Chains A and B, each alone.
Chain A
Amino acid sequence: MLTELGDDAKILAGGQSLLPIMNLRLAEPAHLVDISRVGDLMGADEDTTSVTLGAAITHQAIEDGLVPDPCLGLLTTAAAGIGYRAIRCRGTVGGSLAHADSAAEWPTVLTAIGADVTVRSAQDERTVPLRGFFHGFFTTSLESDELITAVHLPRFAKSTRWALEKTNRKEGEFGESMAVAIVSEGSASIWLGAAKDVPVNLAHVETLLADHPADQVPALGEVRDRVAADLDLSVPELDLAQRHRLQIHAVTVHRALSRALSPEVPA
C-alpha cells in the first residue's frame, strides 16, 4: 500500500505527533494507514540476553511495567517522562523513533542503550542499529515503503548504572536538554538529546570519564568544555544565547554523570 501511494500516505501509530500537525494543517496526508492495533506490533518477547518490543507498544505500557524492562528501570523512567499521561496512552515507541525528534525521549535514550530496530517493507526485512538510523531533523534511514516493526534491547548487566536527566521549564514539555549516561564496568555510553538535529554521542565526555578516577564526578567546567567539543562549538565565538544553551546542556550532562556515578543513590 505504501509503495502504491508513495508520499500521499502516512503511517499513523499513536498519532500524538502527526495529529497535532494535521490539526494545524501543516500536514495534510491524503491517506492514513493506522497500525496502532496491529496485534503483531504490540507484543513483547524476551530471552536471556535481550528484549524485543513491538513498535506499537505505547509509552504507558512501558511506564506501567506491562512489558519487560531489560535496562534496570531506564525504560520505565524514560516512558514516564514523555509528555502527559493522555499522550503516553496513545503514543508509541516505534512512532516516536520514526518521527525522529531529537528532543524526544526514545531517539536519544534508545540510541544510548544501543538498541536496534527491525524495519520491514512489503518485500524485505532488515535490522538497523539506531546509532546511524537518524539522519537529521525528522529524517531517518527509513525508505518510504518501510515500517518499524520492533525494537531490540540488550539486557543491562546487573552492575550497570544509568541516569536520565531532562531540563525543561514545565513537567511534560520537550526537554531543552536531555542527557543519558549509562556506566558499566570500564565503559560509559553518554548521549545528549535536544542539542542538534540528531542525538549526539558525547565521546569527549566519555573519554574524560575514562581518564578520571572511578566514582569521581568531573567538575562542571571540564564537562562543559567536553560537551562544547562534542557539539563542535568554539566557545569564544558563541553569543550569549548560545553560551546559555551550552550551559544548560553542560549542567544537564553533569547532573546525569553525578547520578550515574554516585555510589549511594540508586539511579
Chain B
Amino acid sequence: MSTVTVKVNVNGTPRTIEVESRTSLADLLRDRVRLTGTHLGCEQGVCGSCTVLMDGLPVRSCLTLAASCDGAEVVTVEGLDDADAHRLRQHFSTEGALQCGFCTSGMLVTGYELVRRRTEMDRDQVACALAGNICRCTGYNGIIRAVQKANDDGMAVDDLT
C-alpha cells in the first residue's frame, strides 16, 4: 500500500501527516489527529455524522480521501467556536436537540454552515436542509427548532465575520 503526505490545516493548526493513500479524511481526523468528535456512522455518505467543513463548505469526511485534502483548511465540530457556533450550542441545549449525541457533531457542522449563509428559512426549509443528517433517537423536532432559532438569531444580529 502506497502512502501520501498530506499538508492540512485542522481547526487552525497546520499539520503534515503521512497516511496510506486509501485513508479517508474521517480516519485521518479520528485516528491521526485524535479528534474523535467527527463520527463515522454509515461510511457511505447517507447518515451525515462525519460532516466536517473543508475550506468553509460541508463535506462527508467518509467520502473524502485524505489525499484530496492536501492544502485544505478543515474545521471539525471541535473547531466551531464563534458566535454562530455558540448560539447553535445554546439552542441545542435548550431545545433538547440531542440524546445519545452520535449525530450531534454532524448536525452542528451542517447547521453551522446553514446559518452562516444568512438566508431566511422557515421550518420546512430547515428540515430539508438537515435531511442529509440522520438522528435515530431524539427525533428531529428539537434539532430543527434549534437550528432555526440559531438561524433567526444570526439573521437578527448580523455579526457574520
The answer to whether A87 and B132 have CB atoms under 8 Å apart is: yes
B160 at interface by CB-CB < 8 Å: no
Q: Are A19 and B64 in contact (CB under 8 A)?
A: yes
A39 → chain B, closest Cβ, in Å? 13
Q: At the interface with chain B, which of A78-86, A119-127, A137-145, A240-248?
A: A78-86
Q: Does B110 contact A (CB under 8 A)?
A: yes
Structural contact, B131 and A34, CB atoms closer than 8 A: no
Q: Are A23 and B44 within 8 A (Cβ)?
A: yes
Chain A's closest residue to B128 (CB) is A171
For A89, give the chain B residue with the smallest CB separation: B57
**Known contacts A89-B57, A89-B58; A84/B63 CB under 8 A:** no
Q: Is B51 an interface residue (CB 8 A)?
A: yes
Q: Is the CB of A15 within 8 A of B48?
A: no
Interface SS, B side: mixed
Task: Out of B51, B127, B128, name the residue touching A86 (CB < 8 Å).
Answer: B51
Given the known interface contacts A171-B128, A171-B131, the answer about A19 and B45 at a Cβ–Cβ threshold of 8 Å is: yes
Q: How many inter-chain contacts with C-beta < 8 Å in the A-B complex?
A: 70
* Inter-subunit contact A19/B65 (CB<8 Å): yes
Q: Main SS of the interface on chain A?
A: loop
C-alpha gap A24/B60 in the complex (Å): 15
Q: A20-B44, A23-B43, A85-B58 are in contact. Are A90 and B64 (CB under 8 A)?
A: yes
Q: Which residues of A lie under 8 Å from residue B114 when comparing CB positions?
A: 85
Smallest CB–CB gap between B12 and chain A, Å?
21
Whether B113 sits at the interface, judged by CB under 8 Å, is: yes
Q: How far is the CA of A36 from the CA of B60 in the complex (A)?
A: 15
| 30 chain-A/chain-B pairs, Cβ below 8 angstroms | A15-B65, A16-B63, A19-B45, A19-B62, A19-B63, A19-B65, A23-B43, A23-B62, A34-B65, A34-B68, A36-B68, A37-B68, A84-B132, A84-B133, A85-B58, A86-B48, A86-B51, A86-B58, A86-B59, A86-B132, A87-B60, A87-B63, A89-B54, A89-B59, A90-B64, A170-B131, A171-B127, A171-B128, A171-B131, A172-B128
Query: Contact residues of B with A, CB < 8 Å?
Result: 21, 24, 43-45, 48, 51, 54, 57-60, 62-65, 67-68, 110, 113-114, 127-129, 131-133
Q: List 17 additional A-B contacts (Cβ < 8 Å) besides A19-B63, A85-B114, A172-B128.
A: A12-B65, A15-B65, A15-B68, A16-B60, A16-B63, A20-B44, A23-B44, A23-B62, A32-B65, A34-B65, A84-B48, A86-B51, A86-B59, A87-B45, A87-B132, A89-B57, A171-B131
A: which residues have CB within 8 A of B?
A: 12, 15-16, 19-20, 23-24, 32, 34, 36-37, 60, 83-87, 89-90, 170-172
